[in-house]
Chain A
Amino acid sequence: MTMTGGKRGPELVLEGVSVYYGRVPALQGISLRVGPGELVALLGANGAGKTTTLRAISGLLRPRSGSIRFGERDLGRLSPAAVVRAGIAHCPEGRQLFPEMTVLENLEMGAFTRDDPEIAADLDRVYALFPRLRERRHQRAGSLSGGEQQMLAIGRALMSRPRLLLFDEPTMGLAPYLVDEVTEAIGQLHEQGIGVLLVEQNVHVAFAVAERGYVLENGRIVLEGPIEALREDERVKRAYVGG
């Protein structure tokens, strides 16, 4: 059994998407796609517009122009709650947990849009993926270590039974062995058929799991292709010292 119930999702397609903060453009007509069950990396330096892209997909920001489609659905018009119901979960930058709630309550909040009898079984699957969360289930989320908080953020995103997961720098600030653990978990989810759009500053993580990638610079896509091609590209090497 998998977290998706075996169904692959539709394709996510962004076409010419521009997003502004007031008068300042953050995204200037970007186009990208994530096929069903595909794992795609979105790379770029600080301030390139990666987070903005994910927030536009999940409905927290409205594009000024362009379209965001998930299969038949036009996400540009949907509320964040409707985007979740459409099958997209967003594991945000900086984890963004509910600090005064317990681990269990945070996971239950992840299933907020659901009302089916399989929530308990999905909870067990999250605990199987991250056994430490089960041990800590009655602890306040705010009292967890950084690594545990990241696992909880991923677990909470999984509880909506997404067909597409948006990850925003899931390994940021983690010790190396935890980076490996989180990377492995993302790989496992992908193997179960969940589509993934992975924003990473740590290119080693992106290169380890992604199939394709896009490079964002100042709100524009400057490079795209299979991940092996990006790995060899001089521009990517230059952008990421040691990459």
Chain B
Amino acid sequence: MIELDVLVQALLLGLFNSSVYALVALGLTLIFGVMDIADFAQGALYMLGAYFAFYASQLLGVPYFASLGLAALGVAAIGVLNYLLVYRPLHRVGGATTFIAALGILLILENAAIFGFGADFRLLPSPFGQQKLTLGGAVLTYHQLFTIGMTGVLLGAVWLFLRRTKMGKALRAMSQNRDAAALVGVEMHKVAIITFALAAALAGIAGALVSPTRAFNPTIGGIIILKSFAIVIFGGMGSLKGALVGALIIGLAETLVAAFTAAQYSDLVAFGLMIAILLVRPQGLFGGGGRTA
């Protein structure tokens, strides 16, 4: 007999968990769709987002909400630099080289962060303090609720950008047919910069949003990017819908498994589901047809 409180608690935490995955996976799938790059360096950008928020509020005294914006901007700049300095020069070479370069950037940024910030775990105080929402026997902190809400707002904004703006449509066009996009006059280079900036900003905000909830150090990027990548594969490489539905399913499944079996199994969920779907549907849940619908 399943205890209701345990179930509600797992679902609430799962929603928070899914929100973080959704932000990172969305950026990954955008970059994959538009650029054909599996950008593992996004993991480091997530980590740097947490440090941006931490130093902005602890050293500079910037209010937490403003530090989210700073994290987005700062990390977006680093994401664009990755493209200009590494991916763009390598683009002619293509394939495996780009992938190794992405792992290289992840490791370099991680080590630079250890060197610069130290390897100690940190936690940022939440602007909401310890306030909690109680639903029967289940609790969720205001900060976790805020993270879920912010994710909703950001996903809506990205959706509007992709649907309504000329640049957003150019981005979708390029991910659906690169040659055709060039032939109608889309400037590939400009779209690439926007894509990297947008994806990095999302990863940076995700890191900054989580920094008051989960203790972080420079190595947190590796596991989140592996799982987000599993989510992107699960949902279908390059598919936006796939990344979001995948984040929801895997985020919820993880907390449910942790609640009803044992916490150490939850890390297996993302990879287990990824392998399961690859066996039945190699193109992923929403993959195959077009991308970035």
The residue in chain A whose Cβ has the minimal distance to the Cβ of B187 is A81
Given contacts A105-B169, A109-B169, A112-B166, contact A156 B291 (CB under 8 A): no
Chain A stretch 81-106: residues in CB contact (< 8 A) with chain B? 81, 84-85, 89-90, 92, 96-101, 105
Given contacts A105-B169, A108-B169, A112-B170, contact A97 B177 (CB under 8 A): yes
In the complex, what residues of B have CB within 8 A of residue A4's CB? Answer: none
- How near does chain A come to B165, taking the closest CB pair, in angstroms? 12
Q: Say yes or no: B176 contacts A101, CB within 8 Å.
A: yes
Asked whether A213 is an interface residue with its Cβ less than 8 Å from the other chain, the reply is: no
Q: Say yes or no: B292 contacts A113, CB within 8 Å.
A: no
- How near does chain B come to A167, taking the closest CB pair, in angstroms? 13
A151 to B2, CA, bound (A): 59
A58 to B172, CA, bound (A): 22
Asked whether B186 is an interface residue with its Cβ less than 8 Å from the other chain, the reply is: yes
**Contacting A92 at CB < 8 Å: which of B172, B183, B187, B293?**
B183
Q: Say yes or no: A96 contacts B186, CB within 8 Å.
A: no
- How near does chain A come to B85, taking the closest CB pair, in angstroms? 21
Residue from the set A85, A90, A110, A112 with the largest chain B CB neighbour count within 10 Å = A112
Chain B stretch 156-170: residues in CB contact (< 8 A) with chain A? 166, 169-170
Q: Say yes or no: B180 contacts A84, CB within 8 Å.
A: no
A153 to B184, CA, bound (A): 11
Q: Mark B173-196, 1 if CB is under 8 A from A, else 0.
A: 100110111111111000000000
Asked whether A225 is an interface residue with its Cβ less than 8 Å from the other chain, the reply is: no
In the complex, what residues of B have CB within 8 A of residue A160's CB? Answer: 184-185
Asked whether A121 is an interface residue with its Cβ less than 8 Å from the other chain, the reply is: no
The residue in chain A whose Cβ has the minimal distance to the Cβ of B290 is A100
Q: Say yes or no: B186 contacts A97, CB within 8 Å.
A: no
In the complex, what residues of A have CB within 8 A of residue B136's CB? Answer: none
Q: Mark A139-165, 1 if CB is under 8 A from B, else 0.
A: 000100000000000001000100000
Given contacts A108-B169, A112-B166, A112-B170, contact A60 B187 (CB under 8 A): no
Q: Say yes or no: B179 contacts A96, CB within 8 Å.
A: yes
A112 to B176, CA, bound (A): 16
Q: A96-B177, A101-B169 are in contact. List 13 more A-B contacts (CB 8 A).
A: A60-B182, A60-B183, A81-B185, A85-B185, A89-B183, A98-B180, A100-B172, A100-B176, A100-B289, A101-B172, A112-B185, A142-B290, A160-B184
Residues on A close to B: CB < 8 A?
58-60, 79-81, 84-85, 89-90, 92, 96-101, 105, 108-110, 112-113, 142, 156, 160
A-B pairs with the 6 shortest C-beta distances?
A100-B290, A113-B185, A84-B185, A96-B180, A100-B293, A80-B182
A sample of 12 inter-chain contacts (CB < 8 A) reads A60-B179, A60-B182, A79-B187, A80-B182, A96-B177, A97-B177, A98-B173, A98-B181, A98-B290, A100-B293, A109-B170, A112-B166
